[in-house]
Structure 1
Amino acid sequence: MNKEGVSLLTASTDNADQSHNQEDLESLRLKRGHVLTELLETERIYVNEMSSILLGYCDRIKSEELAHLTPPSLQGKEDILFGNLHELFTFHNQIFLKDLENCISTTELVALCFVQRRDTFYHLYSFYCQNIPRSERLRETLVDTHFFFQDCQKRLGHKLPLAAYLLKPVQRITKYQLLLKDLLRFSDSGNCTKELQKALDCMLIVLKCVNDSMHQVAITGFPADIAEQGELLMQDSFQVWSESKKDIRLRIKPQQRHIFLYQKSMLFCKLTSKPGHNKSTYQFKHHVKMSLIGLTETVRSDTKRFEIWTQGRQEVHILQAPTQNVKKQWVAEIKRVLLNQLEELKGEKIKQYSLNHQGLRQTTSWDTTNTILDTPNRALRSDASSETNKRNSNSSSIDFEPTTSSNSVNDLSNKDQLENCGWSSDCSNSEDELSLTEENNSPGSKFIALADYTAMGHSEVSLREGDTIELLKVGCAGWWYVRVLDSCAEGWAPGAYTQSINRKSSQ
């Protein structure tokens, strides 16, 4: 083949490759467009659903003209029943929906909408989700509201009762990160990908914070005000070995504890659940002020263990994390809190405290590697002896001076975390607006799904409108453990999304 033929063949190949690339880019653009359309359309539906609930239920309860029709047990309880749903509606209707409508043609700008509104998402949805248990408990105790809620549902033309609509915000905040993942998957440019990743990271942080706040609501028996402990930074379960010079009994054996890390303190709780109930609680056992603790990053070369302790090792707590990654995250966060406390005392504050108080030297730990002794109420010292410096040459240690005052004091990153929100498990039946007590809701009964429901964790099961399901177990607050007969999938789902086959056939 001559040079001209080779040149033509090469040009033909290049044109074919370019054509395929253009087709691929066009395919990605179309897929991205479908996701953006879904995002905008479902946002409008979400806003309309919230509006209908506020008008059809909340406003009727608050109406003085309709007071004679409102059950006495509901009057004045709308804030508990609906939480901050009105604030959610206002934000989405007046701000976020308009943001999306103005930016929907440009993916990077859509991503920016999520980044800019991250804090608002967190504060609004944390409050709403923390109120869910209160709303559920209220509905469980209402015995005279069935016909009122049924009448509201009928007037609105809703297939689903109120309980199902009160779950919509939880589903929505979970849906955003799924849509952002799809947009990221169909992205074709570096800048677009970068902005979408930022948006996804923001919403995953929001989900984690909301999830953490849901666990916090379940803490019982804490003698002080949890709100005064500062921002909740992390929460997880650990094996804990505790020592105390005041209580020798703490040395005996490890205990499973769920630990909440706040800016001001660390709470040790015991996970408890009553037989037949699906709502776990965290029974408060002990707490340590962050202003009084020291940190040892590695204990006896165990990659999952770290240690916190108080001055003079009056208390020592060895924590074994479930994974190395969890341990690294906790150590990093604790160090960040401790170092932030140091920053608050720099300059004149340190001088003032150092004049009034005598310094403390760091005590030795079981493992001196990577040890930090810290408190926001101690001043930084640098007078450690050369012998101590040599002994602790591989450690990062900080000595401080104590004061007499105390200093005032973010992922539902994946579905594994979402399933622990406390909305599904075993419990006795509740009596609310669903008229479940009037139906045959014993195990083995058959039901039809009235609408789609997307599972929010491995313990839940997704439903599609028209699915036939079998009730296996009744939980509380309207949660059922069911089997989807077509797929044989099993899990928890809200009973509010279902209707008895017998009732359906009789209509």
Structure 2
Amino acid sequence: MNKIIIVFRHQPSNTAVLQMRSAGHIFTLTSDISLSIIIIIEILLSLFPCRKLHRIMEELLLTEVEYVRSLCYILTHYFPLLSRPDVPQDLRGQRGRIFGNLEKLYDFHCQHFQQELEACQAEPLGVGRCFLNHRESFGLYALYSKNKPQSDALIQHHRYFKRKQMELGDSMDLSSYLLKPVQRISKYSLLLQEILDECVPDQSGEREEIQAALEVVRFQLRHGNDLLTMDAIRDCDLNLNEQGQLIRQDEFWVIFRKKRSLRRVFLFQDVILFTKTKKNDCGDDVYVYKMSIKTCEIGMTHSCGVSGRSFEIWFRRRRSQDTYILQAETRDVKEAWTRDLEHILWEQALKSRELRRQERLFMGMGWKPFSDIQPRNDAVNGDVTGRGIYQPITG
């Protein structure tokens, strides 16, 4: 790695000479001390983010190569074991449960993602685009994380894979290798955050891409756990596969008509699901279905109460008493929910407007195109006392 050598000299002529030697080149800056040494220091400091960005990018690339090598190692040495005639009876036909979608992860990284990261070596700030271009492929990680507990349960009591480890003379067992994808998605989050921290104000375009990439990665980190939690929902009369994507789930105190209940709440694209946490016979948490509300039927008040941790959802075509207050454990959780719910409501408003436009065209009625959809001024940041509300204006 190249080093920057700095030499600072105070000249008798009341000037300062700053000499920087980097990669075999010497750069000399001369300044009147009266202009302030701070200017020189600012020039110097401006060089370091670039150096740090390249160091972070170097770490990202080196660890990516090692990660792809590990996936290949699993598929080469352990994957074929389940096709052998001596495979234990209870492991037969269990390849999908043990390895999940590991093959697809390997193909994605080996054939696409690794090469695109390498192309960003000279321009680290372009790395955000690599992640955004493959937003859907990163969904593989949530599915892999969801399957991981099943995989662990199948292999932890078997010496079948342990014998292969001893044959290979490897210090790591199969369980450790299968943890690699979970560790990798977490590593992406850390490195993207480091890159984001090094962005300067005049790099706003690249900063937005890296921020969006970080949100993609963090969503997949959370989504794997959300999918596991969704599998523990019981007695639900809805087909959850038809309710759109599960966006998030958290625990809330839910207040309705002066009754206060602790509920695990799930936010899907098309429905909000309320459940009650109970323990099953094995001592694990399960979530018993209590009720659901279609997102197309509600409005939202961003904030209510004095704690900053509560928001309201209410029905647009029912009595004002039919209001649910949801109090989160933290402000961050509350802000995340209102942000995502706001996005859902606006998407539905635009979709509803487009459907009505098509209906009018089909019926031969005139239509005046709309150029903008905006909430009322009092509908964005309201509270309970002023009854400020958030409700998309659809007509």
Place the TM-score, normalised by the shorter chain, in its bin: 0.7 to 0.9
Q: Distance in 2 between matches of 1:308 and 1:235?
A: 16
| Deviations 1:288-330, CA, capped at 9 Å, x for gaps | 1123334344546664332223442485422112334443443
User: Comparing 76-85 with 333-342, which one deviates more in the overlay?
Assistant: 333-342
Which residue, 345, 348, 359 being the options, matches 2:352?
345
| Deviations 1:338-393, CA, capped at 9 Å, x for gaps | 2322222225637959x9xxxxxxxxx9756123568xxxx956xxxxxxxxxxxx
What is the aligned partner in structure 1 of residue 342 from structure 2?
Answer: 335
1:82, distance to aligned residue in structure 2 (A): 1.0
| Deviations 1:169-212, CA, capped at 9 Å, x for gaps | 11101111222333445567843x75256324412332234313
Residue 110 (1) aligns with residue 127 (2): yes
Q: Is the 8 A contact 2:98 2:154 kept in 1?
A: yes
What is the aligned partner in structure 2 of residue 153 from structure 1?
Answer: 165
1:78, distance to aligned residue in structure 2 (A): 0.7
Residue 164 (1) aligns with residue 176 (2): yes
Q: Is the 8 A contact 1:242 1:316 kept in 2?
A: yes
Q: Is the 8 A contact 2:155 2:161 kept in 1?
A: no
Q: 1:295 to 1:177 in 2, by over 3 A?
A: closer
What is the aligned partner in structure 2 of residue 231 from structure 1?
Answer: 245
What is the aligned partner in structure 1 of residue 216 from structure 2?
Answer: 205
Q: Distance in 1 between matches of 2:303 and 2:47?
A: 52
| Deviations 1:99-148, CA, capped at 9 Å, x for gaps | 12233122133343233223322x111111122233234346xx5xx231
**Within-5 A mapping of 1:367-378:** 369-371=387-389
What is the aligned partner in structure 2 of residue 323 from structure 1?
Answer: 330
1:42, distance to aligned residue in structure 2 (A): 1.1
Q: Is the 8 A contact 1:268 1:287 kept in 2?
A: yes
Q: Is the 8 A contact 2:271 2:292 kept in 1?
A: yes
Q: 1:302 to 1:175 in 2, by over 3 A?
A: closer
Residue 288 (1) aligns with residue 293 (2): yes
Q: Distance in 2 between matches of 1:380 and 1:181?
A: 38
What is the aligned partner in structure 2 of residue 216 from structure 1?
Answer: 227
1:26, distance to aligned residue in structure 2 (A): 5.6
Residue identity opposite 1:133 in structure 2? P
Q: Is the 8 A contact 1:212 1:235 kept in 2?
A: no
Aligned to 1:282, the other structure's residue is in SS state strand
RCO comparison, higher one (Cα < 8 Å, 6+): 1
Q: Distance in 1 between matches of 2:311 and 2:178?
A: 41
What is the aligned partner in structure 1 of residue 270 from structure 2?
Answer: 264
Residue 133 (1) aligns with residue 136 (2): no
Q: Distance in 1 between matches of 2:137 and 2:179?
A: 19
Residue 85 (1) aligns with residue 102 (2): yes
Q: Is the 8 A contact 1:237 1:256 kept in 2?
A: yes
Residue identity opposite 1:131 in structure 2? N
Q: Distance in 2 between matches of 1:351 and 1:94?
A: 42
Q: 1:34 to 1:276 in 2, by over 3 A?
A: farther
Over the aligned positions, Cα root-mean-square deviation in angstroms equals 3.6
1:241, distance to aligned residue in structure 2 (A): 1.4
Q: Is the 8 A contact 2:141 2:220 kept in 1?
A: no
User: Comparing 29-38 with 181-190, which one deviates more in the overlay?
Assistant: 181-190
| Deviations 1:47-102, CA, capped at 9 Å, x for gaps | 111111112112221x3xx2x21112111111111111110011111111111223
Residue 38 (1) aligns with residue 59 (2): yes
Q: Distance in 2 between matches of 1:339 and 1:175?
A: 33
Aligned to 2:159, the other structure's residue is in SS state helix
Q: Is the 8 A contact 1:274 1:280 kept in 2?
A: yes
Structure 1: unaligned runs, 5 residues or longer: 244-250, 356-364, 382-507
Aligned to 1:218, the other structure's residue is in SS state helix
Q: Is the 8 A contact 2:128 2:213 kept in 1?
A: no
What is the aligned partner in structure 1 of residue 310 from structure 2?
Answer: 305
Residue identity opposite 2:293 in structure 1? V
Q: Distance in 2 between matches of 1:23 and 1:350?
A: 58
Q: 1:320 to 1:148 in 2, by over 3 A?
A: same
What is the aligned partner in structure 1 of residue 30 from structure 2?
Answer: 15
Structure 2: unaligned runs, 5 residues or longer: 1-9, 19-28, 32-36, 364-382
Residue identity opposite 1:309 in structure 2? W
Q: Distance in 2 between matches of 1:352 and 1:189?
A: 46
**Within-5 A mapping of 1:358-369:** 369=387
What is the aligned partner in structure 1 of residue 369 from structure 2?
Answer: none
What is the aligned partner in structure 1 of residue 206 from structure 2?
Answer: 195
Q: Distance in 1 between matches of 2:301 and 2:47?
A: 54
Q: Distance in 1 between matches of 2:87 and 2:329?
A: 50
Which residue, 57, 60, 73 being the options, matches 1:52?
73
Q: Distance in 2 between matches of 1:351 and 1:30?
A: 55
What's the % identity of the aligned pairs?
30
Q: Distance in 2 between matches of 1:182 and 1:190?
A: 17
Q: 1:155 to 1:19 in 2, by over 3 A?
A: farther
Q: Distance in 2 between matches of 1:336 and 1:183?
A: 27
